[in-house]
Amino acid sequence: MSAEDETTSCYCLMDSHSCHLLLDQPGSYALVGEPLTEEAIKRLKLAVFGSLGASLLEYSLRVYCVDDTPHAFQEVVATETGRGGQLLEEPKTLLFKGNTFSLQVSIQDVPQFLWNIKPFTTCQEFSFSQVWCSNQQPLHCAFSLERYSPATTQLSCKISVRQVKGHEQILQVYTSVSESEKESIPFFTQADCTVTSQTGPKAFKIPFSIRQRICATFDTANAKGKDWQLLAQKLHIERNLSYFAKQRSPSAVILNLWEAQHQDNGDLDSLASALEEIGRIHSKSPVKSPEETNSEFT
């Protein structure tokens, strides 16, 4: 379906930061699109892992550039856990622009008298399409290093991840390669992703009593038609109203969508302002005055 399609099977609302889907039943869905301008960005999560090589003198650094989603990074964690990899630096976010330019990953500041880098791997590059359209195995590259002496137990270097004519991030590596001294940074899970959780006790919710009164008011028909349409308009939800029309309580579904849009700020004041603007709360006895409603929102 297109974000602009009129349909009664689901509702899709897109803004500059997220896409919200309202569905009649759970299932697997894919969001497919293309950038309209070169200013579009894709959020990448960058992480560097390390482990000893086949020889005790060898050490491997693996740099991952994956989608900034919980699932993508958890897949990386599972892979590295299975191969004994250590997370060497807190993951960072890179904004990858839709400008068709490639992504370069380079290793810098390696102690030259202590470590040797495998030839021709100092700088590695991914094409734009590899990064922008990556949807299979986690995108990553590896740097193979070898220490000149077993007495060298520390490795320090920088990993630069930069897009040509775009943004750059630096991953700082400082780790012990001695088995007895190794310390790893704890793996980061879903809570560290920029995706906001909308489930559980911490999710933003409109107070139940307020929700009930709003639904009782705006699900009622009058001479001007279903009042929930005016509610949708004032909450800037004006497209594909046929989806709400088939719902038992259109107002409740509209409020569900509004809650999802406001998970980050929990801005009940803007809801109160919309209700006051409509003005119907003055004439409905189950609903309090604007002043009382606003005080209960805060």
Q: What is the reported pTM?
A: 0.68
pLDDT of the residue at 116: 93
- The CB-side HSE value for 126 (13 A sphere, CA atoms) comes to 23
Where do the CATH 1.10.533.10 domains begin and end in the chain?
198-297
Q: d(Cα 37, Cα 215) in Å, to the nearest integer?
A: 40
pLDDT of the residue at 297: 45
pLDDT tens, per residue, the chain with 298 residues: 455 566 677 888 887 777 888 887 888 887 777 778 888 899 999 999 999 988 889 999 999 999 998 888 999 999 999 999 999 999 999 999 999 999 999 999 999 899 999 877 899 999 999 999 876 689 999 999 999 999 999 999 999 999 999 999 999 999 998 765 555 566 554 444 444 445 555 667 888 898 998 898 888 776 554 588 888 988 888 888 888 888 889 999 999 998 888 887 777 888 888 888 877 444 544 444 444 544 444 4
pLDDT of the residue at 149: 92
**DSSP tally for the chain: helices H, then strands E:** 8, 14
Q: d(Cα 54, Cα 59) in Å, to the nearest integer?
A: 9
Residue 222 tokens, joined = 């009058």
- Using CB atoms within 10 A of its CB, is residue 66 exposed (0-12), middle (13-18) or buried (19+)? buried
Give the pairing type, strands 168-176 and 41-52.
unpaired
CB-CB neighbours of 272 under 10 Å:
20
Among 188, 187, 195, residue whose Cα is nearest residue 69: 195
pLDDT of the residue at 137: 81
pLDDT of the residue at 66: 94
pLDDT of the residue at 97: 94
CB-CB neighbours of 253 under 10 Å:
20
- Using CB atoms within 10 A of its CB, is residue 79 exposed (0-12), middle (13-18) or buried (19+)? middle
pLDDT of the residue at 2: 53
Amino acid at 89: E
CATH assignment, 41-187:
2.60.40.2660
- Using CB atoms within 10 A of its CB, is residue 40 exposed (0-12), middle (13-18) or buried (19+)? middle
Q: Which CATH architecture fits 198-297?
A: Orthogonal Bundle (1.10)
Where do the CATH 2.60.40.2660 domains begin and end in the chain?
41-187
Length of the chain: 298
